[in-house]
Structure 1
């Protein structure tokens, strides 16, 4: 209950701060939506030249992209730790975090949240409904529950990977450019993995499992029987990677010795 209370207090303070500059908030929301629209246009342009992509139709690809946007929006709202190395290690702000009686990762997540990114989830749902209606997909009573489970699993996959990357800073506190590269790799998860060669498919499934954020869980709703096993592995992979990331984080915090020179 204490952590739940702290969460809502952080959210309240965040909303007060953001609403002080409403124009800036609107511009950020608009830019995020524009970025997603550009990616969708790219998919449409590709399918102007081909009807199918390795057996996947235009509307199926669009549906996968829409599904991908939902967990990605939740991740972007609460796990903005791309500057963890420079802000918290190099500049020493982790010293401040560690003086408080609350888990350090929980504090950093709430300090860096950007709730306006949640609008990306709305866009994702709209894209899914559009593509689903064109595909004639039927919704069963269990689909909403499975959707929530798969989305949370996808969020944990993304969070686990990026928390583990942030943990590198505990052992090597020099500035690093791994984060931007990993964000680019993560975008491969919004396309069917079988359009890639076997090596990339293996990496996106078991090493950097971004495929569990988009194509694998979305394949269940598309009725792709051959991917059902991977679909139901989504929450398992998410829990494994996130649990591992928290363990590595705790070990890194034990090793941390402050920002003194």
Structure 2
């Protein structure tokens, strides 16, 4: 626990420095945030157009879909805000910059995560939070008490897969195709109720790539729609715990791949 607390403190200090650096270019920061918000807003606009043709989707109304979309987008933003720097991990390996990271007496993952600040993800976060607030049913303490860990758990589920695939960059030349596929699956399937997909697809998105645990199951709990789930309601209530378990496993994968890292010699 002491090691985790130290890593979190270190992350916060380094990330604040990175943020101050990014804010030196104010116009670029504003454009990045607005671009992220517009991009994600256009994705929901497509759903809105479709829902005006079909009054419900898998038994979910437009307001419920908006809440699900906002929940997934908020979790996605919380995932990518700290992990956006992993996109550049392959470059660090090829150019030998990772050697410098490993020579410092600091957690290597924290150093990589704080190399840049994903300002576009701030736009994602703003859009997701606005959708959550606008589309949510009347809030109470019980809902808030479940929603907060559910969003964090959903972010950790997605983060665990991004970290695991990025870890492969330590031993593979290029993982962009795998990471692009993963991002498409989470973004395209995670914004819709699982009931709109076939039985095999639902099973894959629940037990192989647990996209359903990011937003669909927590949203089902918060909207009182657990009766339509293909798993017991207790599993949906425990969905935040899956994120913690998967991220702990992903970190073990990262440590294992790091032990097998061989410098490029550049």
- Give the TM-score, by structure 1 length: 0.91
Unaligned 5+ segments in structure 1 are: none
Mapped pair 1:246 → 2:245? no
- Aligned equivalent of 2:179: 179
**How do 1:1-261 residues align onto structure 2 when only pairs under 5 Å count?**
2-81=6-85, 83-115=87-119, 117-132=121-136, 137-174=137-174, 176-187=176-187, 188-226=189-227, 227=229, 228-260=233-265
Identify the range of structure 1 (195-204 vs 6-15) with the bigger mean alpha-carbon deviation: 6-15
Deviation, structure 1 residue 81: 4.6
Instruction: State the Cα deviation string for residues 173-196 of structure 1 (Å, max 9, x = none).
Output: 346421111111111111111111
| Partners of 1:156 and 1:238 within 8 A in 2 | yes
Deviation, structure 1 residue 150: 0.4
How many angstroms apart in 1 are the aligned matches of 2:110 and 2:15? 13
How many angstroms apart in 2 are the aligned matches of 1:4 and 1:80? 17
| Partners of 1:90 and 1:174 within 8 A in 2 | no
Unaligned 5+ segments in structure 2 are: none
**Cα RMSD after superposing both structures:** 1.9
Deviation, structure 1 residue 198: 1.8
Instruction: State the Cα deviation string for residues 21-44 of structure 1 (Å, max 9, x = none).
Output: 101111011101101110111011
Structure 1 stretches of 4+ moved >4 Å:
none
Question: Using a 3 Å threshold, how does the CA distance of structure 1 residues 189 and 231 change in structure 2: closer, same or farther?
Answer: same
Instruction: State the Cα deviation string for residues 120-176 of structure 1 (Å, max 9, x = none).
Output: 3332222122222xxxx2323222121111011011101101111112223323464
- Give the TM-score, by structure 2 length: 0.89
Deviation, structure 1 residue 88: 2.3
Aligned residues: 257
